[in-house]
Amino acid sequence: MIVVIEMEYKITSYNERDTATIAENLESEKFPNMVICLMGDLGSGKTVFTKAFAKATGIDEEITSPTFNIIKEYSSGELPLYHMDVYRLEDSHEDIGIEDYFDKGGVTIIEWADMIRDKLPEERLEIKIKVIDENTRILKLIPYGKIYEDICGVIS
Ligand SMILES: Nc1ncnc2c1ncn2[C@@H]1O[C@H](COP(=O)(O)OP(=O)(O)OP(=O)(O)O)[C@@H](O)[C@H]1O
Ligand SMILES: [Mg+2]
């Protein structure tokens, strides 16, 4: 009998800087085709995380929330970054080929990834962010695939 135990790593963030540090630590483990799925309420820190990750990658362009464009691509860093915010995806009635980005050689970060569960790749890192109070967040890291399990072990 095979028992599959879903691993999860909980990290408490007490301020914006803590969330940025978690993003920077994950950035240092980045690899081509890495996929990070961010899930959490409005204002939980998904964009804060993405901006810190981008900056650590050496991206000098300004990271703006891609809510109305769905996908933004930044290429000035060590690896390309594909930043998606799929919150409004249902409003756009076209297939924008999200899956095509997962194996283009860059890092994909998806805000509101829970809205496209059926499109997510099998191997990925999910980060569920829970708002506790104005400045406190609990980040739950759930790795899918050995490479992400190893990364969580290293950074937690
Ligand atoms: N511990 C924390 N981690 C991250 N952000 C925090 C924290 N404490 C307070 N904040 C604040 O919460 C806000 C998070 O905003 P952000 O735009 O990153 O949220 P979001 O999850 O991307 O929201 P949306 O769903 O609207 O895209 C910022 O104003 C930030 O300063
Ligand atoms: Mg956001």
Which of 21, 39, 42, 44 to mutate to test ligand 1, by most ligand atoms within 8 A of the CB atom?
A: 44
CA gap 66, 46 in Å, rounded: 12
Neighbours of ion ligand 2 (CB under 5 A): 46-47, 65, 111
CA gap 43, 131 in Å, rounded: 8
Stretch 101-110: mean pLDDT: 98
How many CB atoms are closer than 10 A to CB 70? Answer: 18
Stretch 125-150: mean pLDDT: 97
Asked which of 5-14, 42-51, 117-126 is least confident by mean pLDDT, the reply is 5-14
pLDDT at 59: 98
Ligand nearest to the CA of 11: 1
Three-point CA angle 104, 73, 62, nearest 5°: 150
pLDDT at 79: 98
pLDDT at 66: 67
Q: Is the CB of 139 under 6 A from ligand 1?
A: no
Distance 47 CA to ligand 2 centre (A): 4
Q: Is the CB of 86 under 6 A from ligand 1?
A: no
CA gap 148, 124 in Å, rounded: 7
* Residue 153: pLDDT band with limits 50, 70, 90: very high
Stretch 13-37: mean pLDDT: 98
Domains of the chain, first to last: 9-155 (3.40.50.300)
Distance 147 CA to ligand 2 centre (A): 26
pLDDT tens profile 65-77: 766 678 999 999 9
Average pLDDT, rounded, for the chain: 93
